[in-house]
Amino acid sequence: MGPEHVAHDMWALYGLPHVTPDLVIAWERGAGTPGHAELTALAGVLWCSPGELLGRPRTLAEHRIARAVAPEDVARAVGMDVRSYLRMEESGQWRGNGRQSAALARALDLALPDFLAVTGREARLAGLLRSAVTTRWQAYVRPVRKLAPVGTGVLEAVLRELHQDYQGHMAATLTWGGGGTGAGESGQEYLERIVDTFWTAVEKQTA
Report DSSP letters for the chain, one per residue. --HHHHHHHHHHHH--TT--HHHHHHHHHTS----HHHHHHHHHHTTS-HHHHH-S--SHHHHHHHTT--HHHHHHHHTS-HHHHHHHHHHT-----HHHHHHHHHHTT--HHHHHHHTT-HHHHHHHHHHHHHS-GGGGHHHHHHHS---HHHHHHHHHHHHHHHHHHHHHHHHHH-SHHHHHHHHHHHHHTHHHHHHHHHHHHH-
Same domain, 198 and 136: yes
Q: What pLDDT shows up at residue 139? A: 95
Q: What pLDDT shows up at residue 39? A: 82
Same domain, 165 and 89: no
Same domain, 60 and 41: no
Same domain, 80 and 60: yes
Domain holding 64: CATH number?
A: 1.10.260
Same domain, 20 and 66: no
CA 160 to mean position of chain CA atoms: 25
pLDDT, tens digit, 9 for 90 and up, residues 144-199? 999 998 899 999 999 999 999 998 878 766 554 555 545 556 778 889 999 999 99
In this structure, how many other beta carbons lie within 10 angstroms of the beta carbon of residue 30? 7
Same domain, 65 and 18: no
In this prediction the pTM is 0.68
pLDDT, greater one: 82 or 92? 82
Final residue before a domain boundary, out of 119, 148, 173: 119
Same domain, 106 and 149: no
pLDDT, tens digit, 9 for 90 and up, residues 98-120? 899 999 999 999 999 999 988 88
Q: What pLDDT shows up at residue 108? A: 92
Total number of domains constituting the chain: 3
Final residue before a domain boundary, out of 92, 119, 146: 119
Final residue before a domain boundary, out of 82, 97, 119: 119
Same domain, 135 and 184: yes
Range of the domain at 88: 56-119
